[in-house]
Amino acid sequence: MNASSAVFAAVDFGASSGRVMAARVGPGTLELEELRRFPNRPVRVAGTLHWDILGLYGNVLDGLRAAPPGLVSVGIDSWAVDYGLLDERGALLGNPVHYRDARTDGVMERVRAELGDDHLYQVSGLQFLPFNTVYQLAAESADVLKRARTLLLIPDLVGYWLTGRIGAERTNASTTGLLDVRAGAWSRPLLDRLGLPAQLLPDLREPGDVVGTLRADVAEETGLRADLPVTAVASHDTASAVAAVPASGERFGYISCGTWSLVGVELPEPVLTEASREANFTNEGGVDGTVRYLRNVMGLWLLQECLRAWDSPDLSSLLAEAARVPALRSLIDPDDPEFLPPGGMPERIAAHCRRRGMPEPGTRAETVRCVLDSLALAHRAAIRQAARLSGREVEVVHLVGGGSRNELLCQLTADACGLPVVAGPVEATALGNALVQARAHGVVGDLAEMRALVAGTQPLRRYEPRGDESAWSDAAARIGLS
């Protein structure tokens, strides 16, 4: 690493793995060093699916112990919506429940019936997803809520353990369904209608605010200095990833592709029209008050679950075989709720195709091709809808995150969208995390400068659209994604 630059630690929790990265940032310099990478495996206890939050925190401490000298700051991001509840002593009431747990089955429908779709959307601007925080809270037991004093989303919980300071970072708060998207504040009227105490939700922070400095015991355990600040970043991992999209100008779409594909455009204001609500688009917070206008697509979860069912075969060989499978033969709707839970994914894909009168994939390669063709179609539909509903023209699609390594998916996405796809960086979330820290500490400038630094330093690959666009249009119509 360039010794003249400043070093920041980026803690990045993904839904299937986590990492602690050291980022060196300076003029013309943006370099990452992996300090620790670890799996993020849910644990089922007495029928409930939980996150192993203490195991994740232990991995953070291990990563920080390996940090290079001269660390300026630490920042934390994670997946959205899940939380821990603290009691009056500040102790965790129980392991956070995983958003894929079945406790919210039917809850969203009940809340929507009671409060009304239009009211919920006008307050939060959020896509209706059964695991949004608002529905998880509605599924909590009355006893747990009675004992709870504070709700902390995952990055805020880890930040609390590191510093002893309580707060809620705004970009992640915007995913809960409890934040007023216009006012940028917690919606007290909505909390009242849900019967939730207002004091449950802590004061809001902005990306770049200093959370606090390390607790003495954390400093001693990690060997870091006690006055080391923890800086709030865009703590929803997609918000950090979008901050690191290597785009210039405004006419771009993005796909933050990992376990989920978050597909959309960046806007200055939310879109709260009836058409937007009916299309199930979400308005989430981004850096500098921007709005991430997007839709969740099931993403590489489908492929990950297939690989798990097959005992983790070599992915590169499987993708090479899938590239030779005839295109658009077997298709699924990736966002069908039947694909949300874990387990038995290849069989569920085959059954989905059978019910829709399509050929069932007969080999692993055919299943992979079905997944990737279907994801490309879902990306196409979301990009086109985002542009139409927002009025924002899209000239290029930036695909960042782990999915940018999947060359077949990147090319299929370019083909389906009929637009160039720029793939990379792979570690967009960690880069965005580090860049927000670097800006807060005076190392880089505004969002445009941050993105230019990414574009000038990170390996990117451009995919041009090819083939017959009409074939993609026909395929989209077959599964209702046109």
Distance CA 83, CA 80 (A): 9
Which entry of 12, 237, 373, 415 is annotated as an active-site residue?
237
Distance CA 427, CA 91 (A): 33
With b for 16 or more beta-carbon neighbours within 10 A and e for fewer, the 178-193 pattern comes to: bbbbeeeebbeebbee
User: 474: helix, coil or strand?
Assistant: helix
CA dihedral (451, 456, 461, 464) positive or negative: positive
DSSP notation for 195-226: T--GGGSPPEE-TT-EEEE--HHHHHHHT--T
Q: What is the DSSP letter of 324?
A: T
User: Residue 455, Cα to own-chain centre: how many angstroms?
Assistant: 21
Phi/psi zone of residue 326: left (φ > 0), alpha (ψ -120 to 50 degrees), beta?
beta
Tokens of 7: 């070093």
237 belongs to the catalytic site: yes
Distance CA 334, CA 274 (A): 24
Q: Which residues are annotated as catalytic?
A: 237
